[in-house]
Structure 1
Amino acid sequence: MQQLKGNWVVPTSLMTLILGFTLVAAWKMPKPQGFAPYSSRLLDSSGGPPLDVMQTLFEREQEIQNLRQQVTELQTALGEQSSQAQLLNQQLQDLKVLAGLVEVEGPGIEVVLQDSKNPPNDPILQPEYVIHEVDILRVVNELFMSGAEAVAVGKQRVVATTYYRCEGPVVNVKGVPISSPVVIQAIGDPDTLYGALTMPGRVVYQIRENDPQMAVVRKVERLVLPAYTGTTKLQYAKPVLPDKDEKEEKREGRSR
């Protein structure tokens, strides 16, 4: 026990320091300001964001991902000091997977949603031949409902605070503009996920009624989904901690 008490200080301090750098880097990531539909300031000639903005975002995301990987390595090293610490570390790593904070791999499916290349001339019908945020949201919901364990939209990991919003020719996925085609990847049982999306009456089936090429689904043996690289800072939501009486009741229950 004396050795454990002396060994946890340094790795814990390093882990805290790196985690602090991670949060600062995530907080300072460039965010779209005044993003308006068809804004020439954020869109290039092809309808997507300018290359310099995307390059900056990519570099920041890589930096954050590397820092979080270092945190995971330190947590694992600390957890190897005792069986109880190993159990706590394993639970922590599992929670990080569920929260989308680490890169994951596994079998699953890939869904490609894209605007129709043959829209009708009638302007009233044309919106039905364009991919909207509601289409993406429905696909993501269907995937999670069917047992998907991790989902990414346009290389952006889906987390609890992910949102989707149409802004001109692009869909804003938690601050990142994504243009057609939109690639959605999900890790889970490929057969179950594929069947849930494509069965009659479900979301992909409905999109294909307008144009079969607007929604393409394929099974994939191995997918690698990136970790979420945005901020994890919460301003209002706080964990509910048990009060003194609840702690004593739990302690008494364990002693019986």
Structure 2
Amino acid sequence: MKKEKLIFLIFSFIIGITIALQLKSIDDLTGGVASSQKSRQLQSELKSLRDKKIGLEQELQALELKAKELKDSELQEDYMEQELRKEIDKFELMLGQKEAIGPGIVIKFQSSDQDSQQTALLTYNYELLLSVINKLNASGAEGIAINEERYVNTTFFQLVGDKLYVNGNPIFEPYEIRAVGNPDTMESALNLRYGVLWEIRKHYNINASIEKKPELKLPRFTKNVEFKYSMPVEN
């Protein structure tokens, strides 16, 4: 916009100089005293100059208005671009395509008896881990990860031999689930009597601890999400 303002200033300067020079020429020609006929002629020329000046000023105002409209349009485009970027960021977070950071909780699973292999039971009963994740989602979690794997709507668990795979990658004990969201709400939802953590503690002899964090970080989902059958509905 600086370029347009400079053009306006130069344009106004040229108009002023042109009128001043023409008026000075008229004064020089008449020596300050003109006959009645010459006076009428000069008055006519002066009126023409004034009309021209008014016309040029109107053109300048129109240009300034156009420049303002262009500036407003650019501001509107910037605003729309910012809002679109926010929406894209939101969906990328939902899809796990970006790392997430925020307050939340960390759930750690460890054997009550350090010499036992009780946590291995979670590998063979990984549906208990899924139940914990479902409870977190139901309590408003905005992002979840198990060990270093981001949990998204396409995440799958698979048991192969004695190894548990998440998103096609192996994860190992001890298991740790991190969730970004309201720490108090998620903690309360998990600590319900006869809930999933109560079952893990009582029936599997596994210590499932919950730690609230003012800030924790979730990894991004590293695989590409492809849609083979779903397509957006055209409006």
Alignment TM class, shorter chain as reference: 0.5 to 0.7
Which residue pairs with 1:158 in the alignment? 151
Return the offset for 1:141: 0.2
Partner of 2:176, secondary structure, is strand
Q: Which runs of 5+ in 1 are unaligned?
A: 1-78, 121-125, 243-256
- CA deviations 1:29-77 (Å, max 9, x no partner) are xxxxxxxxxxxxxxxxxxxxxxxxxxxxxxxxxxxxxxxxxxxxxxxxx
* Structure-2 change in CA distance of 1:116 and 1:170 (3 Å): farther
Would you tell me which structure has more helix in proportion to its own residues?
2
Out of 196, 205, 209, the residue aligned to residue 216 of structure 1 is: 209
**Alpha-carbon separation, structure 2, partners of 1:232 and 1:128:** 31
Tell me the equivalent position of 1:91: 87
Is residue 198 of structure 2 the alignment partner of residue 205 of structure 1?
yes
Alignment of 1:1-256 (within 5 A): 82-114=78-110, 117=113, 130-131=121-122, 132-242=125-235
Q: 1:180–1:100: structure 2 CA closer, same or farther, 3 Å change rule? A: same
CA–CA separation in structure 2 for the residues paired with 1:199 and 1:226:
28
Query: Could you say what secondary structure the match of 2:102 adopts?
Result: strand
2:105, 2:186 within 8 Å by CA — same for their partners in 1? yes
Q: For the residues of structure 1 that align with 2:225 and 2:76, how far apart are their CA atoms?
A: 26
Structure 2 distance, partners of 1:80, 1:235, is 36
Q: Runs ≥4 in structure 1, deviation > 4 angstroms? A: 114-120, 126-129
User: What letter matches 1:229 in structure 2?
Assistant: T
Separation in 2, partners of 1:152, 1:104 = 10
Structure 2 residue runs of 5 or longer lacking an equivalent are: 1-74
RMSD: 2.6
Normalised TM-score (structure 2): 0.61
Structure 1 pair 166/115, CA: closer, same or farther in 2 (3 Å)?
A: farther
Offset at 1:237? 2.0
2-structure distance, mates of 1:237, 1:142: 27
1:201–1:158 distance in 2 versus 1, CA, 3 Å: same
CA distance in 1: counterparts of 2:228 and 2:111, whole angstroms: 38
Secondary structure, counterpart of 2:233 in structure 1: coil
Query: TM-score when scaled to structure 1?
Result: 0.56
Distance 2:119 2:175 in 1: 16
Secondary structure of 1:157's partner? Answer: strand
Looking at structure 1, the residues matched to 76 and 111 of structure 2 have their Cα atoms a distance apart, in angstroms, of 51
Q: 1:216 to 1:144 in 2, by over 3 A?
A: same
1:142-193: per-residue Cα shift (whole Å, max 9, x none)? 0000111100011111111001122222211110111211111000111111
Q: What is the match of residue 32 of structure 2?
A: none
Instruction: Verify the 8 A CA contact 2:111 2:205 in the aligned structure 1.
Output: no
TM-fit CA distance, 1:119: 9.3
Cα–Cα, structure 1 residues 128 and 101, in superposed 2: closer, same or farther, change >3 Å? closer
Note if contact 2:118-2:206 (Cα within 8 Å) is conserved in structure 1: no
Offset from partner CA, 1:173-228 (integer Å, 9 cap, x none): 11011121111100011111111111101110110003554422211121011111
